[in-house]
Amino acid sequence: LLCCKSLSKNFLFQLLGLSIATLSTVTHYGLHFTVISNISLESNSYRVIHHAAFYFGICLSMTLILAALLSSAATVRESQCLTAMGFFCFALAFCGLIPAACWRYMHSTEVEDSMMDVYDLVYEEVRRNTSSFRRHELTAIHEAFLCCGKHSPFGDTTNVEHETCPPSQEGDAEQDCLREIHDFLKKRMDFVPTLLGVTIGFMVYGMILTSFLWFSIHFSSNLDRKGRYVLR
Estimate to the nearest angstrom the gap between the alpha carbon of 228 and the chain centroid.
Answer: 41
In a domain, 38, yes or no: no
Contact between 111 and 52 under an 8 Å Cβ cutoff? The reply is no
pLDDT tens column, 155-208: 455 666 677 777 765 555 447 889 999 999 998 888 888 999 999 999 999 899
Say whether pTM exceeds 0.75.
Answer: yes
Cα separation of the two ends of the chain: 12
In a domain, 155, yes or no: no
CA diameter of the chain? 84
In a domain, 230, yes or no: no
Domain that holds residue 100: 13-25+55-110+177-222
Alpha-carbon distance of 111 to 65, in angstroms, equals 28
Alpha-carbon distance of 180 to 146, in angstroms, equals 8
In a domain, 195, yes or no: yes
In a domain, 232, yes or no: no
In a domain, 19, yes or no: yes
pLDDT tens column, 36-66: 999 988 888 899 999 999 999 999 999 999 9
pLDDT tens column, 99-135: 999 999 998 889 999 999 999 999 888 888 766 678 8
Percent of the chain with pLDDT over 70: 82
In a domain, 228, yes or no: no
pLDDT bin (cut points 50, 70, 90) of residue 35 is very high
The Cα angle at residue 17 between residues 202 and 93, in degrees rounded to 5: 55
Domain count, the chain: 1
Alpha-carbon distance of 83 to 131, in angstroms, equals 63
In a domain, 218, yes or no: yes
Cβ atoms within 10 Å of 192's Cβ, excluding its own: 16
